[in-house]
A = this chain, B = another copy of it.
């Protein structure tokens, strides 16, 4: 067929594989038949073929419906001790799946030491280490207490926390206030200035913001995040717009708080100095949205992705409370001068909750400027978001990406789609130094280990396979699998 023949007649297309090609053609008015086919991927053998005792698609529709209907509202600022369910003075919350002091990575140990010093449970680094190792302090995941924490995520009794409520389902999520960049607790730093700064946040910033929000009333974070996505944020590693919108929203009330003006000015200057202020609001927003879907019988949608610097863990809506873990990966990205991958801790933090809800790496096309921070080109950012539509169940109705014609962000990761496509979720993240006390050394992109998804699939099939079949081992091959049964 000559070029003239090919282009001289109306196109009719059968598209095999990636649906986005077909969508582009449909937008041009070309008739397309879509063939639902994907290339075979590692670990994908047999996935989705065995009969189930539940209607998985119906269950996922229910989970997605709960995700999309949620309304995260900032209602106030409290303290971890007052607000977080099950909090105790001798309980330290941390990022990621459960972990013991012995298995904690450097930055998380550093943050625990800092938390002990901040709470005045010990007076020196050595005493703090000893206390942490003694068993006198319990360690539990933030995620098991309706909370989330970036990087080490260490959250203790006296820390101020944002309180975010999902108005539709009346559940709440909590997150400590962001400490800023540089040497900070969440990256494992615990020198005296770090602890002093935490005390200032507890005694000054927290109460000022609490009073400000009392004056202001509830603040709709779903709408604020939607605006931020139209202003170049993706809600994980770029939060400049969200932080700016928060400050302009709160400043008119903050100025009226009965506290000396100099102290109000310091609070405003700190918020202004730290573009990550809003990360600690996008995270609990995502958390309370997803939590509403946890427990939907039969759903294979992820409600958690979280890392403690040693293990990566995921949780499914249909298997609530169960973690499926595997060793965390190294982050690939841009390092600050003088540092390299040799200095890096493994992937750490609860901030991947943003990706789980359709933000962060999943909304990267909204934030082309982020490639200056995590590496790559604006085209990579577009491509990454477009890829995530292949593993998600739906598109956000509120969070839109202007550069993709206001298409909703890819939302609701499906375990089965990940395994059949072989496409892993893409996460934007910061990079901590592997040693306690150093801090942030870069930022980049990371994926969860495939093994988390393989063991989750095994557990899902054990729970939901029709009794006649035993296909659970089909996809496992020789991958290392680890499930933490608690």
Contacts and interface: CB of A to CB of B under 8 A. Distances in A.
Given A265-B256, A368-B402, A272 B249 contact: yes
A394 B244 CA distance: 32
Interface stretch (A1-9, A293-301, A322-330): A1-9
A39 interface: no
Contacts of A245: 244
Nearest to A245: B244
Contacts of A402: 232, 368-369, 378
Given A6-B3, A378-B402, A252 B268 contact: yes
B256 A272 contact: no
Contacts of A227: 240
Contacts of A247: 244, 247-248, 251
Interface residues of A, number: 40
Interface in A194-228: 227
A6 to B, nearest CB: 6
A248 B261 CA distance: 16
A403 interface: yes
Contacts of A265: 252-253, 255-256
Contacts of A264: 255
A241 interface: yes
A262 B272 contact: no
Contacts of A230: 232, 369
Interface in A256-308: 256, 261-262, 264-266, 268-269, 271-272
A231 interface: yes
A37 interface: no
Contacts of A29: none
A337 interface: no
Copies in the complex: 2
Contacts of A406: 378
Interface string A97-138: 000000000000000000000000000000000000000000
Nearest to A266: B252
Interface in A1-27: 1-3, 6
A470 interface: no
B248 A244 contact: yes
Contacts of A266: 252
A27 to B, nearest CB: 10
A231 B55 CA distance: 43
Interface in A345-388: 368-369, 377-379
16 contacts: A1-B3, A227-B240, A230-B232, A231-B231, A231-B369, A232-B241, A241-B241, A243-B248, A244-B247, A244-B248, A248-B251, A248-B271, A248-B272, A249-B272, A256-B265, A403-B403
Given A251-B255, A403-B403, 14 more contacts: A1-B2, A231-B240, A231-B241, A231-B244, A231-B369, A232-B232, A241-B241, A241-B244, A248-B248, A249-B272, A252-B266, A252-B268, A254-B255, A368-B402
